[in-house]
Homo-oligomer: A and B are copies of this chain.
Amino acid sequence: MTRFFVSPEQMQSQFLVLNGENAAHAKVLRLKAGEQVLVCDGAGNECECTISDVSPNQISLVVNSRRESSSEAMVKASVYMAFSKGDKLEHVIQKATELGAYEIVAFPSKRCVSRPDDKSLAKKLERWQKIAASAAEQSGRGRIPQVVVVSSYKDALVRASNADKAILFYENEQATTLKMALSDSRYSSISLLTGPEGGLEPEEVEQAKSYGLSVCTLGKRILRCETAPLCALSAVMYDSGEF
């Protein structure tokens, strides 16, 4: 069923009107009166609607039933990724959204080559949030993951450590596997941190430990900075029973 995102306020009413991009999208799909669509508030609630009327720039809907979205992951997984070059962060935002991430947090670290200034950051954040919204729509999610930027590595650690489990992946770690870190206790939220192209500095890894993060390996092969977070997220989704 086609899925549209509207604001939580719009979702309150018994009769909904889709306009702007949503109406344009409906036009492309040639939706007609009588067809069923799904409307989501992007925060985990959705309603099944019947199209009552189609006009050039808006679509009117009648709400049939409301429910909590059934396509959200059971575990809230936050993907913390260091700023990286090119469109790698965009790639990870799109894929992590598909894979069910709760949020994506970008942070600076010592070896980050690319670090956007405040001015370009506002623009980028808007673009990143749109990528997340579009991937959420395409993958059938009921929630749009928020893309968050924190201003320091320390802030990332403090924020990450609030989850039930907080894991930092480091290519020089060999002994502790993700499986060990996950198997010692249940978790309903998890933070997954990965470094930039050049990796994290050993001091940064020590600092993460001091904030309570577990340092784990992702295996014997060196993963690119855009592969590591998605590999870790896939494993967590598998571990927590999603598939």
Contacts and interface: CB of A to CB of B under 8 A. Distances in A.
B218 A243 contact: yes
- Please list the 6 inter-chain residue pairs (A to B) with the smallest Cβ-Cβ separation, ordered nearest first: A234-B234, A235-B238, A219-B243, A219-B242, A71-B220, A231-B234
Contacts of A235: 234-235, 237-238, 243
Contact of A221 (B98, B221, B227, B241): B98
- What is the count of identical protomers in the complex? 2
A224 interface: yes
Interface string A85-100: 0000000000100111
A139 B222 contact: yes
Contacts of A158: none
A108 interface: no
15 contacts: A98-B222, A99-B223, A100-B221, A138-B224, A139-B221, A139-B222, A140-B221, A177-B241, A178-B243, A219-B237, A219-B243, A220-B242, A235-B238, A235-B243, A238-B239
A230 interface: yes
Given A70-B220, A234-B235, 14 more contacts: A71-B220, A95-B227, A98-B222, A99-B227, A177-B242, A179-B238, A217-B243, A219-B242, A230-B230, A230-B231, A234-B234, A235-B235, A235-B237, A235-B238
Interface residues of A, number: 36
Interface in A121-147: 138-141
A159 B219 CA distance: 28
A156 interface: no
A223 B178 CA distance: 23
A104 interface: no
Interface string A186-228: 0000000000000000000000000000001111111110010
